[in-house]
Structure 1
Amino acid sequence: MRKADKISIVVPIFNEEANINLLYKRLMEQIPLLDLDKYEILFVSDGSTDESENIIKSLGAEDNNVKGLFFSRNHGHQFALKAGLDNSSGDVVVSMDADLQHPPELILPLYERWQSGFDIVQTIRKETEGAGPFKILTAKLYYSFLNFFSDVKVLDGAADFRLMDRKAVDVLGDFNESNLFMRGLIPYIGFKTSYIDFVAADRHGGESKYTIRKMFRFAMDGLMGFSIKPLRMATHLGIWMSFTSVLYLIYVIVSKFFLHNTSPGWSSLVSIVSLLGGIQLVCLGIIGEYVGRAFMELKRRPQYIIAERVNL
């Protein structure tokens, strides 16, 4: 059974002043159970505007194993997670959120599963305390929709709470995409993976930072980043509409010259033109989304900008 010398715990945060101290306390209750020589807790502040960064500095002054990366501005949760992985140094790396919905008590089972030979141990959220029917339904629809279009399958409930071997973390470091979707990249890299179910607790303090706009963007990153099926569907739809238009044209010609029927009036014509115009705009939107993402990739801008480091 293998044993790590050091574990890194990466925690992306954005305005989590109500949770950091309690999270640190619970982590420090769990880390000794791993029987490791060294550890680090790496908080990545995604442009926090509350007291989160000051709390991290205070913890870092008391414990040199507490480290911090502070972004110059808000770059997004996925980039904060990526920055933490890039700057971690442990043989195994655990990523988790700061809102205590990811229980620190699960770190030991994750580590034990890694010891048995798995390179990635992925948690699956089976239930969230306090989650309403609407949130549960939209989450299931999202994963179903994503897996229908995507070439990489993401399990329903797969969270950003996972343990990874150093070699998997190093491979992820080679991905410098402008639109990150870590839940898709993890199965994409294809290491030996195990799964552990858990029930997510209700958020301890503060409020969720994922607005509807951010969730929609997150969904688009997952869809566009791992599939060109929307482009193919736009092509197929165009072919089908062209074929339907030809059939309708044949019908109009036959009705006028052979059956001596009057062609449909303006209302039907306007409806057809509007339908075709709407379909064309949707297809152009899909194409434009892919072109825009390709344009952003070509710029080769940094994924994130670090303004300050603590104990690093």
Structure 2
Amino acid sequence: MAENKLLSLIVPVYNEEHVLSMFMKRVAEVLKTIPDIQAEYIFINDGSTDRTLENLIALKATYPQIKIIDFSRNFGKEAALTAGLQHAKGDITIPIDVDLQDPPELIAEMVVKWREGFDVVLAHRSNRDSDSFLKRFSAKWFYKLHNKISSPPMPDNVGDYRLMSRQVVDALNSLPESTRFMKGLFAWVGFKSTQIEYVREERAAGESKFNGWKLWNFALEGLTSFGTVPLRIWTYVGILVAGISFILTLKILIQVLFMGIDVPGYASLMVAVTFLGGLQLIGIGTLGEYLGRTYMESKNRPVFIIREIL
């Protein structure tokens, strides 16, 4: 008889009181169909202000495999994923959102691929019609830009929903940084991987906690976490602008000294000053993004604080 393997499901939650019971019922039905697999459910309550914690405690009476990690405040999804990975004891681990946009039925397919010898099984979104046009457009260009300037590349249209072997989870837990962009870290550790296709569903209940501003900051985090190309670009911008300025200087000198042409200065001077000032501010801002991350890492603060484990 085959030995049962333990599957750890990592489920970050923030104000998701309305969908918890639906999620547990659907996932439990899926796991019943997978042979030789036992499951633990690691819910990370990321500072919810509604009845999420109370509902989780009530569900634990029905599903004793539930473990609840209650944060002292909202630390964000990346911190919640980190906590889940650190507390996962399974032979395999799957992070999954509680809103049921990522169908739990894929878990069975992921386990089959893992048994074929893959350490990582990615869930690739073949269709994003459930997302808004702006979100689809920004996601497409984020992946294109990130993979041009950062290393290693991230698979496009792949979220946190994936299966990882124990070896992969141990590798992720060994990484020391406190400012964590998990999609990049998932790609960075490598290992033998494959992917399965799926169509993302609508949210079962509630609303997305990611607004445009949070997504923008999340994108900046990703673009500056795995490469220094944004910094290097400004070296070449400086060389280009200096070269153009030198050519224009020669042109003006020739016009004034040899051709007697008067060069009116106010408008052209203002354009040049404001243009160069704008470039300098953008360059300083890019430096600031990297310096800020270095500053936060130097504090060596914990990624999260746990109030209680239930």
Select between 15-24 and 55-64 the one with higher mean Cα deviation.
55-64
Q: Say whether the 8 Å CA contact 1:3–1:115 is kept in structure 2.
A: no
Residues in 2 aligned to 1:3 and 1:221: alpha-carbon distance in whole angstroms: 42
Select between 23-32 and 130-139 the one with higher mean Cα deviation.
130-139
Q: Deviations along 1:67-96, whole A, 9 cap, x unmatched?
A: 110111111111101110110100000111
Match of 1:70? Answer: 70
Task: Supply the AA of the counterpart residue of 1:175.
Answer: L
Match of 1:278? Answer: 278
Task: Supply the AA of the counterpart residue of 2:120.
Answer: I
- Deviation (angstroms), 1:5: 1.7
TM-score normalized by the length of structure 2? 0.96
Match of 1:111? Answer: 111
Match of 1:35? Answer: 35
Select between 81-90 and 61-70 the one with higher mean Cα deviation.
61-70
Task: Supply the AA of the counterpart residue of 2:148.
Answer: F
Match of 1:178? Answer: 178
TM-score normalized by the length of structure 1? 0.96
Residues in 1 aligned to 2:3 and 2:247: alpha-carbon distance in whole angstroms: 69
Q: Say whether the 8 Å CA contact 1:176–1:303 is kept in structure 2.
A: no
Match of 1:96? Answer: 96
Select between 126-135 and 53-62 the one with higher mean Cα deviation.
126-135
> How well do the aligned residues superpose, as a CA RMSD in angstroms?
1.4
- Deviation (angstroms), 1:37: 5.3
- Deviation (angstroms), 1:155: 1.8
- Deviation (angstroms), 1:4: 5.6
Matched, 1:206 2:210: no
Select between 260-269 and 7-16 the one with higher mean Cα deviation.
260-269
- Partner SS, residue 105 of structure 2: helix
Select between 103-112 and 26-35 the one with higher mean Cα deviation.
26-35
Q: Deviations along 1:211-247, whole A, 9 cap, x unmatched?
A: 1111011101110100100000011101111111111
- Partner SS, residue 136 of structure 1: helix
Residues in 2 aligned to 1:207 and 1:132: alpha-carbon distance in whole angstroms: 13
Residues in 2 aligned to 1:17 and 1:195: alpha-carbon distance in whole angstroms: 31
Residues in 1 aligned to 2:45 and 2:207: alpha-carbon distance in whole angstroms: 16
Residues in 1 aligned to 2:130 and 2:222: alpha-carbon distance in whole angstroms: 26
Select between 165-174 and 127-136 the one with higher mean Cα deviation.
127-136
Counting only pairs closer than 5 Å after superposition, residues 192-231 of structure 1 correspond to structure 2 as 192-231=192-231
Q: Say whether the 8 Å CA contact 1:129–1:202 is kept in structure 2.
A: no
Q: 1:3 to 1:105 in 2, by over 3 A?
A: farther
Task: Supply the AA of the counterpart residue of 1:264.
Answer: P
- Partner SS, residue 33 of structure 2: helix
Query: Aligned residues, how many?
Result: 309
Residues in 2 aligned to 1:221 and 1:272: alpha-carbon distance in whole angstroms: 32
